Chain A
Amino acid sequence: MNCKEATHLMSEDLDRPLRWHEQVALRFHLMMCSGCRNFRTQIGFLRAAIRLRSGGD
């Protein structure tokens, strides 16, 4: 798996349950890739920020 594919899976992880083999492949990629680890944290932050703005307490 390369980073581009990983970003797709990390995004889709916010929209659907990942399949078992996708989870494994992604986890393996993340172990080796700090750029993608940061990417995952940051798109999670985007979601949290928006929820905070739209009435979430």
Chain B
Amino acid sequence: MTKLNAIMTQADPPADPSVDVPEQIQGFFGEHRPDLVRFASIQLRDPAMAEDVVQETLIAVLKGHNAFANRSSVKTWVFSILKRKVIDALRLRQREVPISQLGSGDEETEGHNDLFDRRGFWANEHKPHRWANPDDSLEQKQFWRVFELCLDHLPERTSRVFMMREFLELETDEICQELAITTSNCWVILHRARMSLRLCLDETWFTR
């Protein structure tokens, strides 16, 4: 923690002395660190790398806390920095293991054909039914565990594209450029990811 102390002591005092920003930040990290690590880990699929990214985020947040003056909330701000750090880590990995090397997508061939009949309409047993109180699920820890398990089941290539789109909120064009795949391929992959994730949650959580 000496590194942190050094940053803490050299940091300028916050503009408003009644709000000790570094303390707020420390408090936030103390409370939410596991969430932040999980957020990074599920995208990087590498717990050690996720820890590093969260640590870098904490340092960046403490260094830049003066810029935090009128931000909406510590949480939003921390996540915006964490997302940037995750993008950097993904870029690094993309250089090491280009997405084109992650298999030709054999594992993700249109695996949802059995949901539809020959004419392309929902097969009776697969027709989506209404989910009961999905918003209440959001409050339950167990739901998030299931959600993460479902995400883990996505093939790596599919997962990478989906995470960039939904977790990092990048536009499809940016993702295509970043991963050197075509836009229409991107849309197909995202469609598959949503199909899989919806089906997995449907079967494992919103049981009929």
Query: Which residues of A are in contact with B by a Cβ distance under 8 Å?
Result: 2-5, 7-8, 11-12, 14-16, 33-36, 38-39, 41-43, 45-47, 49-57
Q: Is the interface of B mostly helix, strand, loop or mixed?
A: helix
Q: Pick from A2, A7, A42: contact of B131, CB below 8 A.
A: A42
CB closest residue in chain B, given A42: B198
Complex contact B134–A45 (CB within 8 A)? yes
Q: Is the interface of A mostly helix, strand, loop or mixed?
A: helix
Complex contact A46–B198 (CB within 8 A)? yes
Inter-chain contacts of B194 with A (CB < 8 A):
11, 14, 43, 46
Give the shortest distance, in Å, between B148 (CB) and chain A (any CB): 9
Q: Map CB proximity to A onto B164-208 as digits: 1 under 8 Å, 0 otherwise.
A: 011111001000000000000011001100110110011000000
Q: Contacts A3-B122, A55-B76: A12 and B187 contacting too (C-beta < 8 A)?
A: yes
Inter-chain contacts of B29 with A (CB < 8 A):
none
Inter-chain contacts of B138 with A (CB < 8 A):
49, 52
Q: Which of B14-22, B62-70, B78-86, B98-106 contacts its partner? A: B78-86
Q: Contacts A7-B195, A15-B190, A42-B128: A57 and B144 contacting too (C-beta < 8 A)?
A: no
Complex contact A53–B119 (CB within 8 A)? no
Give the shortest distance, in Å, between B208 (CB) and chain A (any CB): 12
Complex contact A12–B116 (CB within 8 A)? no
Give CA–CA (A15, B116) in the complex, Å. 23
Give CA–CA (A3, B194) in the complex, Å. 15
